[in-house]
Amino acid sequence: MASVWSGMDMPDLDLKRYERQTRLSGWGVETQQRLKGSRVFVAGAGGLGCPAALNLALAGVGHIRVCDFDTVEISNLNRQFLYTEQSIGTNKAKSAQEALFSLNPEIDVEPVSDEITAHNVDDLVADAEVVIDCLDNFRTRHVLNLCAVTKGIPMVHGAIWGLEGRVIFLHPPSTPCLACIFPKTPPQEKSPAVGAVSCAIGSVQALETIKYLTGVGSVSTGRMLLLDFSTMKFQELEVTEDPRCPVCGQLGTGTE
């Protein structure tokens, strides 16, 4: 059987690396090239950000900006697999960039060691086509949500609590935004965290992003995926836009 890149001359992309995924129906070489030109902002390089960024890098997303101001601690190492004991004390975004470069040097991973705030978020996200919410607090999540809604780009929200996790693809006005679903900012708490759970949720966030960028498959619009790994019961929760939402409520009204 002829490989999908037979006769293709694309010196800037090592297509052998991506052979198995380009065999997927609808993916192909052109889609792989599109992925190489894609820009994704990964907010947070912790338990969710490590698998999210890793899977983007492995798939060949060409420009990944990883943002985390935190430093690696030994208590991160049960789940944040881009880091080793040698990474302790170093900035997570920079250490993640080094790990991702060793896995796929063909892509551009840009580390950002700033804390995301209302003042810098627009510049940090810049011209990204998707933002992935791998954060651990709702205060910053709401800052990122407002930025994504304003720019008109999707945000892939993920979160874990112990053996449970959730994922949702948010892209108003065709879906709710984060503020429609979680209007309040709950107090910050340190959740119990198991590596296999955050790894699964972060990987699904990356997959939703890749599907959006490639057009392969369909993203989970209007449905929040709830995964309870303690019982292996997975559910979908239907979510709807709040027309009074202060963030996205004016979108889709046809007044512009």
When asked if residue 148 is in the footprint of Zn ion (CB under 5 A), the reply is no
CA 235/CA 173 separation, integer angstroms: 24
Please report whether residue 248 would count as binding Zn ion according to CB under 5 A.
Answer: yes
Q: Does 180 sit near Zn ion (CB under 5 A)?
A: yes
C-beta of 177 vs 197, nearer to Zn ion: 177
Of 124, 177, 193, 224, which one interacts with Zn ion (CB under 5 A)? 177
Q: Least distance from C-beta 63 to Zn ion, angstroms?
A: 28
The stretches of 8-137 forming alpha helices (DSSP H) are: 19-22, 28-36, 49-59, 92-103, 121-125
Distance CA 64, CA 100 (A): 10
> How many residues sit in the footprint of Zn ion (CB under 5 A)?
6
Distance between CA 198 and CA 196 in Å, rounded? 6
One of 124, 148, 207, 245 touching Zn ion (CB under 5 A): 245
49: tokens are 């950000």
State the nearest-atom distance from the C-beta of 181 to Zn ion, in Å: 8
Q: Does 146 bind Zn ion (CB under 5 A)?
A: no
CA distance 49 to 34: 23
Query: What is the smallest separation between the CB atom of 138 and Zn ion, expressed in angstroms?
Result: 14
Contact stretch for Zn ion (CB under 5 A) within 84-92, 174-182, 208-216, 225-233 = 174-182
Q: Identify which of 103, 54, 37, 81 has the alpha carbon closest to the alpha carbon of residue 207.
A: 54
247 binds Zn ion per the rule CB under 5 A: yes
**206 and 51 in contact (C-beta within 8 Å)?**
yes
Interface with Zn ion (CB under 5 A): 177, 179-180, 245, 247-248
